[in-house]
């Protein structure tokens, strides 16, 4: 079946699939050409809703339905050792010849911070997913069934035009992508005492399209939430990799998005894809840790042998029309979940049946709860229970969790990440640890927490490790409190969050990639080696033990990282 319509429209659903065959064999097997190929392992299949059953985990796989990701932000260069390092002859490259790529909200390409002294753009390409049905750019192998690519030549033509947006009609209405790009790679502005971490690096940007309504409805996230699909992020990574191949340049990828969906061990399709990419020579993957600490979105419980019940108290706010949550077993135990409503109506723990959905309705409330259980998800084979509250009655809900295998066990429950639910919905006895958002839980990525570079303290909401199976996350902390960067209208603004911290580390990684790959000091440099260099040079407070759940191995210090390369 040929693909003749715009797959970015609300008429099509998207599914992430692994394919063990060649692309042509996979097209033949599925009987459709409505497929975008992300890598040699992952593809996105687009299917018209008229041919689908209602979206559910019992009809489609947990990994196949895209998860939704939110943005992770709501004097720093000196503290990070970036400016001191730039004064060293060996590290004075300022990231020249390296691409820093972003998958975010777009970029204000007209901002002078992203231009060369002659007025031309330092942006090598923009892929705007929000309009267009795919196009081909000479020299670039990237193909997709939606969006529009704008190469550097078109961006330069736009900058020299009297009406730039008539040539390249791509903007950043939210400003998050523009801000991160300015922190990582913005040029110097002496009047405002500003410089990006790697002001000579090239820039590439993917503007994510907003999540489709059917996924927003399925996960019951707030109407005003800024949400982005897992498959779109994966396709964005593929675009950035294609630009790096086209220009034959090292690449740093900076991700400032995250989700509480998934098992918090880094085994989602996006995480698996990024883990593969992290091993590529000349590539560095830097991700934000999230801003979940102190919000009450994580619960950790334990059960003992015997028919013991762990009672989980959940406060549901007045303004939440619905939300979903996920329970993940730490061990091999299998859990049953029951509910007590704010009015006292009780539904006993349901018998665990894998791959089955139960829809629960209450006599005195309009609340509808859907419970889906899977005994074995991911490489670790963990038990997962997906719980979906629709029209929940405000007040205190009690979840009754009990094991079925007569074992001592531990389980975790995560509510949606910040922005997807109101601040009035939270666990009454939350656990502040294990709150890193995915894909930051992936072991091979460089995960960055945020700290206040003025006071030296951790940012109060910076997500804490470790991941669910005890692997050290975050890896580092970087400045992320009241950071100055590019705002709307060529003005400056300030943001706080782990996205800003990740942008600092992305710039430092670009400087190291230039030193290693382009100057010939380490031709096989990748994410793992950059992580090692930065961890060795990190500042560590003698009053703390490292690694720890807040700072990881310490705070970013590029200057010290380079000094420790000396024999």
Residues 236 and 109 in one domain: yes
Is 423 a domain residue?
A: yes
Residues 544 and 399 in one domain: no
pLDDT band of 443, cuts 50, 70, 90: very high
Is 4 a domain residue?
A: no
Looking at 427, 454, 470, the residue that finishes a domain is 427
**Which of 520, 504, 552, 493 is closest to 176 using CA atoms?**
493
Residues 459 and 478 in one domain: yes
Is 2 a domain residue?
A: no
CATH number of domain containing 330: 2.60.120.1290
Residue 385 main-chain phi, psi, to 5 deg:
-125, 120
Residues 255 and 305 in one domain: no
pTM over 0.85: yes
Residues 221 and 127 in one domain: yes
Q: How does DSSP assign 117-159, residue by residue?
A: TTS-BSEEEEEETTS-B----TT-----SSBEEEEHHHHHHHH
Is 5 a domain residue?
A: no
Looking at residue 527, its pLDDT comes to: 98
pLDDT of 95 > 70? The answer is yes
What is the number of domains present in the chain?
Answer: 3
Is 7 a domain residue?
A: no
Residues 280 and 379 in one domain: no
CATH number of domain containing 553: 3.40.50.200
Residues 175 and 246 in one domain: yes
Is 3 a domain residue?
A: no
Residues 122 and 112 in one domain: yes
Is 1 a domain residue?
A: no
Residues 483 and 411 in one domain: no
d(CA 483, CA 196): 11
The percent of residues in the chain predicted with pLDDT above 90, rounded, is 79
CA atoms within 13 A on the CB side of 465: 32
Residues 408 and 552 in one domain: no
d(CA 314, CA 297): 10
As a whole number, mean pLDDT of residues 238-254 equals 98
pLDDT tens digits, one per residue of 155-203: 999 999 999 999 999 999 999 999 999 999 999 998 888 999 999 999 9
Residue 218 · residue 57 · CB < 8 Å: no
pLDDT of 254 > 90? The answer is yes
Residue 561 · residue 532 · CB < 8 Å: no
- At 389 the three-state DSSP class reads strand
pLDDT tens digits, one per residue of 447-506: 999 999 999 999 999 999 999 999 999 999 999 999 999 998 889 999 999 999 999 999
d(CA 514, CA 372): 48
Is 433 a domain residue?
A: no
pLDDT tens digits, one per residue of 378-435: 656 789 999 999 999 999 999 999 998 888 889 999 999 999 999 999 999 999 999 9
Measured on CA atoms in the order 552, 554, 560, 566, is the torsion positive or negative?
negative
pLDDT of 377 > 90? The answer is no
| CB-neighbour burial class of residue 483 (10 A; exposed 0-12, middle 13-18, buried 19+) | buried
Residues 541 and 494 in one domain: yes
Looking at 368, 394, 427, the residue that finishes a domain is 427
Looking at 39, 69, 99, the residue that finishes a domain is 69
What is the span of the domain harbouring residue 455? 71-293+438-563
Hey, what are 225's tokens? 């939430």
Residues 119 and 185 in one domain: yes
């Amino acid at each position: 079946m040929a693909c003749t319509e715009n797959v970015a429209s609300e008429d099509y659903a998207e599914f992430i699939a692994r394919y063990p065959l060649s692309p042509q064999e996979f097209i033949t097997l599925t009987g459709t050409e409505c497929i975008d190929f992300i890598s040699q392992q992952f593809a996105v299949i687009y299917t018209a809703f008229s041919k689908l059953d209602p979206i559910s985990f019992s009809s489609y796989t947990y990994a196949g339905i895209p998860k939704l990701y939110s943005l992770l932000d709501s004097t720093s260069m000196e503290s990070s050792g970036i400016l001191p390092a730039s004064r060293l002859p060996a590290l004075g490259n300022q990231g020249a010849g390296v691409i820093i790529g972003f998958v975010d909200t777009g970029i204000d390409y007209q901002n002078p911070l992203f231009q060369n002294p002659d007025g031309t753009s330092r942006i090598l390409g923009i892929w705007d997913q929000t309009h267009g049905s795919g196009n081909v750019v000479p020299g670039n192998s990237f193909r997709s069934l939606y969006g529009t690519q704008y190469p550097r030549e078109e961006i330069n033509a736009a900058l020299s035009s009297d009406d730039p947006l008539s040539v390249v009609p791509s903007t950043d209405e939210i400003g998050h992508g523009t801000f991160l790009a300015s922190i990582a790679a913005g040029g110097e502005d002496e009047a405002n005492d500003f410089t990006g971490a790697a002001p000579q690096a090239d820039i590439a940007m993917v503007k994510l399209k907003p999540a489709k309504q059917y996924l927003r409805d399925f996960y019951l996230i707030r109407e005003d939430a800024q949400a982005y699909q897992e498959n779109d992020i994966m396709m964005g990574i593929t675009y950035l990799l294609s630009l790096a191949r086209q220009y034959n340049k090292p690449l740093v990828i900076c991700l400032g998005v995250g989700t509480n969906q998934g098992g918090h061990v880094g085994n989602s399709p996006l995480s698996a894809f990024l883990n593969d990419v992290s091993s590529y020579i000349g590539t560095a993957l830097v991700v934000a840790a999230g801003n979940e600490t102190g919000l009450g979105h994580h619960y950790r419980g334990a059960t003992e042998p015997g028919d013991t019940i762990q009672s989980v108290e959940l406060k549901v706010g007045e303004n939440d029309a619905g939300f979903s949550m996920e329970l993940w077993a730490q061990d091999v135990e299998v859990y049953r979940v029951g509910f007590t409503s704010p009015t006292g109506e009780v539904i006993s723990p349901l018998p665990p049946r894998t791959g089955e959905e139960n829809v629960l309705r209450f006599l005195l409330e309009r609340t509808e709860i859907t419970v889906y259980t899977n005994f074995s998800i991911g490489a670790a084979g963990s038990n997962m229970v997906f719980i979906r509250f629709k029209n929940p009655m405000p007040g205190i809900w009690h979840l009754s969790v009990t094991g079925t295998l007569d074992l001592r066990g531990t389980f975790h429950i995560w509510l949606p990440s910040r922005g997807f639910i109101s601040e009035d919905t939270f666990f009454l006895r939350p656990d502040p640890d294990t709150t890193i958002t995915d894909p930051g839980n992936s072991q091979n990525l460089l995960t960055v927490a945020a700290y206040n570079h003025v006071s030296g303290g951790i940012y109060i909401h910076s997500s804490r490790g470790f991941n669910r199976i005890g692997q050290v996350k975050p890896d580092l902390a970087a400045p992320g409190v009241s950071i100055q960067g590019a705002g709307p209208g060529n003005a400056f603004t300030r943001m706080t969050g782990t996205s800003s911290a990740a942008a600092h580390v992305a710039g430092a990684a670009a400087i190291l990639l230039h030193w290693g790959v382009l100057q010939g000091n380490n031709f096989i440099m990748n994410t793992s080696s950059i992580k090692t260099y930065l961890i060795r040079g990190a500042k560590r407070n003698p009053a703390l033990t490292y690694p720890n759940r807040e700072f990881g191995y310490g705070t970013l210090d590029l200057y010290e990282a380079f000094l420790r390369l000396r024999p």
